[in-house]
Amino acid sequence: IGFLGSKEILDGKLFKVDIVNGTTYRVGHGLGRKFKGVIPVLIKRKLTGAIQTFDHFIPGDSDDDSIYFDFSILGSHELTVSFWIF
């Protein structure tokens, strides 16, 4: 509960990315510091708009998390992913 009250979560940014399965994506988050966490907001199929479960979202290991957030997605569809980085 103390973590949710931290200033970092409020100073985050919302990202929306169109992705293809099997590719690791790198997002430059622009926070000016290492990110503390990521909250998947919405994952849906591009063609049908069907909602995917969040267990498809896999955070990666970035070589520089003060600049980048790396992630990949499981599944067989092109997806649109929205997530909050803080």
Give me the pLDDT at residue 45, please.
Answer: 79
| pTM score | 0.71
Is residue 14's pLDDT more than 90? yes
Give me the pLDDT at residue 12, please.
Answer: 92
> Could you report the per-residue pLDDT of 22-80, keeping only the tens digit for each?
677 888 888 888 888 888 888 787 777 777 665 556 666 667 767 888 877 766 677 78
Task: Identify the residue whose tokens are 């498809």.
Answer: 56
Is residue 13's pLDDT more than 90? yes
